[in-house]
Amino acid sequence: MPAPVRFELLGVDTRSNARRGLLRTPHGTVETPVFMPVGTQATVKGVVPELLRACGSQMLLANTYHLALRPGEEVVRSLGGLHRFMAWDGPILTDSGGFQAFSLSDRATLTESGVAFRSHLDGSLLDLTPERAIAIQEALGADVAMVLDHCPALPAGKEAVAEATERTIRWARRCQRARTRDDQAVFGILQGGSHADLRSECAERLVEIGFDGYAIGGVSVGESPEEIRKALEVSTPHLPAHQARYLMGVGRPQDVLDAIAAGVDMFDCVLPTRNGRNATCLTRRGPVRMRNAAHKADPRPIEDGCDCPACSRFSRGYIRHLFLADEMLGPILASVHNLAFLHRLVRDAREAIGEGRYDRFRAEALEALGP
């Protein structure tokens, strides 16, 4: 059976491990490195599909746990699958719910069988086994599904990390066996914390099982940029060069730049939309807080030179007014700009990689961004 999702490596930067590639999916081809906006509940908060397109979104993420609970995967399936449901005809990736076992740990009981959730909505039980995680994702019908993984709570001793890593590998095998759709890719997820031996063993054993791509999990759970870097350093060398690498939950511009240098191809994060709703806008010179009185009569856009649907028409003065007036359009425009910012960051990274100057690009971008 042909791989439903194929990664084509276009080139590697000469002075770093940064890569350019193409991710071919049943819903179109994505240029990598790519940033994926998060649509947890089958909508990127406040942003209609045409604005997602207009700000440069290529591929979206949605969430298995949340959609299984509401509206239920069978409702999504009966309404034509996730693409039709949310009117996004581009590629979609669904997260397996493994991260919710960590982030909603007070509602989750983890056993070898899987994760039993008490719904955060109505207390009903969701028994998320590896098999069920795949079945739900097959019903949702994303282009890329993720295995169910076990992300240990931090701080964790090496023994606990090792145990979670072993379980992640066993669950990955069960996920692989449970697959029935030949038009949906499944990515494995590496655990192992910042332990080189655990990461490398996890990578090798997942590659033995054989997935369509590999994610670096167990980051973006409260660790420092230095710890993210270390996890990447010990993970990426063990991953096949000709398959896609996805760093889950990372979206801070500085971290994205670092991870690209380490050879990561795909990112997702709620940061641009969450910050946008809180009136914080991303710019190449660091964040701008839109409620600030300094913007009161400022005719400039959020970011000079930005061609996004917010910056091309609206002033800082107007957007500040919208936030002070508690108007929905404020969060909408700030989210749109922040997404456009991250999409442009990775687009510029792709260009720099193609021209063999990624290291310089990264250094200059980090300098401008500040800490």
Calculate the dihedral angle through the C-alpha atoms of 244, 184, 99, 34, rounding to the nearest 10 degrees: 40
What is the rounded distance in angstroms from the CA atom of residue 280 to the CA atom of residue 77?
36
Question: Which residue in the set 10, 15, 28, 48 belongs to the binding site for a second copy (CB under 8 A)?
Answer: 48
Q: Which residues are annotated as a binding site for Zn(2+)?
A: 306, 308, 311, 337
Instruction: Return the DSSP state at 38.
Output: B
Of 95, 212, 255, 258, catalytic: 95
| Residue 363 CB coordination number (10 Å) | 11
Residues 121, 115 contacting (CB under 8 angstroms): no
What angle in degrees, to the nearest 10, is found between the helix axes of 158-178 and 196-209?
10
Taking the least distance from each CB to a second copy, the nearer of 19 and 277 is 277
**Residue 85 binding a second copy, by CB under 8 A:** yes
Subset of 293-332 contacting a second copy (CB under 8 A)? 296-297, 299, 309, 313-315, 317-318, 320-322, 324-325, 327-329, 331-332
Footprint of a second copy on residues 54-83 (CB under 8 A)?
70-71, 75, 78-80
Angle at 203 between CA 197 and CA 207, to 5 degrees: 145
Binding status of residue 105 toward a second copy by CB under 8 A: no
Distances (CA, A) of 152 to 178, 193, 338: 24, 9, 30
Q: Which of 86, 260, 288, 339 binds a second copy (CB under 8 A)?
A: 86
Q: Which of 3, 8, 28, 87 binds a second copy (CB under 8 A)?
A: 87
Outline where DSSP puts E strands in the chain.
6-12, 19-25, 28-32, 34-37, 60-63, 92-95, 108-110, 115-118, 125-128, 144-146, 185-190, 213-216, 244-247, 266-269, 280-281, 288-289
CB of 43 to a second copy, least distance (A): 5
3/297 with CB nearer a second copy: 297
106 classed as catalytic: no
| Given the residues 13, 212, 255, 268, the one annotated as active site | 268
Task: List the strands of the sheet with 60-63, edge to edge.
Answer: 34-37, 266-269, 244-247, 213-216, 185-190, 144-146, 92-95, 60-63
Q: Which stretch binds a second copy (CB under 8 A): 14-22, 28-36, 228-236, 292-300?
A: 292-300
Binding flag, residue 136, a second copy (CB under 8 A)? no
278 binds a second copy (CB under 8 A): no
**For a second copy, which is the closer residue by CB, 1 or 325?**
325
Among all residues, which ones are annotated catalytic?
A: 95, 268
Q: Which residues bind a second copy (CB under 8 A)?
A: 41-43, 45-51, 70-71, 75, 78-80, 85-87, 296-297, 299, 309, 313-315, 317-318, 320-322, 324-325, 327-329, 331-333
